[in-house]
C-alpha cells in the first residue's frame, strides 16, 4: 500500500494551481470540471503522491485554509539541491521562510509558509 493523494484546502482552484505549478514547479495532472467543483490534481516532479486542491466551501472550510496542520509543519518538500531551491523560493512571491537554513543530523532544512499559511519543511537529506 501507499498513499496516492491527499487534499489541501485552497481559497480557489486557480490560485492553488498558480502556486503549486508556477511557484513550486509541480505538474498539473488533472483539472476536471465536475459542475459545482473541480478535480484538480498536482504532483511534484518524480513523486508518486498527488495533492488534490480542494476549494474551501463554506465558513468552516475557509477558516481551515492554512490550518490543516494545526500550526505545525506538516508538508515536506525534499530537494536534491537545497541552496538552489532555497534561493529560488526566497525570491518567489508568496513564500516566507521563517528561519535561516539549519543543518541537522538528518539534513539541511528551513521552514517556510505558503501563501495559504501552511507550514512546510524544505529539506535536503544528509
Digit-coded pLDDT (tens) for 2-31 = 999 999 999 999 999 999 999 999 999 999
Three-state SS string over the chain comes to CCCCEEEEEECCHHHHHHHHHHHCCCEEEEEEECCCCEEEEEECCCCCCEEEEEECCCHHHHHHCCCCCCCCEEEEEECCCHHHHHHHHHHCCCCEECCCCEEECCEEEEEEECCCCCEEEEEEEC
Please give the Cα distance from 77 to 97 (Å, whole number): 13
Digit-coded pLDDT (tens) for 56-85 = 999 999 999 999 999 999 999 999 999 999
Q: What's the whole-model pTM score?
A: 0.93
- What domains can you pick out in the chain, each with its CATH number? 1-65 (3.10.180.10), 67-126 (3.10.180.10)
pLDDT of residue 92: 87
Amino acid at each position: 500500500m501507499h498513499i496516492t493523494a491527499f487534499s489541501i484546502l485552497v481559497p480557489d482552484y486557480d490560485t492553488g494551481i498558480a502556486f503549486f505549478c508556477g511557484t513550486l514547479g509541480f505538474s498539473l495532472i488533472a483539472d476536471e470540471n465536475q459542475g459545482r467543483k473541480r478535480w484538480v490534481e498536482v504532483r511534484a516532479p518524480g513523486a508518486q503522491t498527488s495533492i488534490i486542491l480542494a476549494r474551501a466551501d463554506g465558513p468552516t472550510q475557509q477558516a481551515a485554509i492554512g490550518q490543516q496542520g494545526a500550526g505545525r509543519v506538516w508538508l515536506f518538500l525534499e530537494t536534491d539541491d537545497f541552496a538552489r531551491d532555497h534561493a529560488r523560493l526566497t525570491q518567489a512571491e508568496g513564500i516566507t521562510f521563517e528561519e535561516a537554513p539549519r543543518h541537522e543530523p538528518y539534513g539541511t532544512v528551513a521552514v517556510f509558509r505558503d501563501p495559504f499559511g501552511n507550514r512546510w519543511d524544505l529539506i535536503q537529506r544528509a
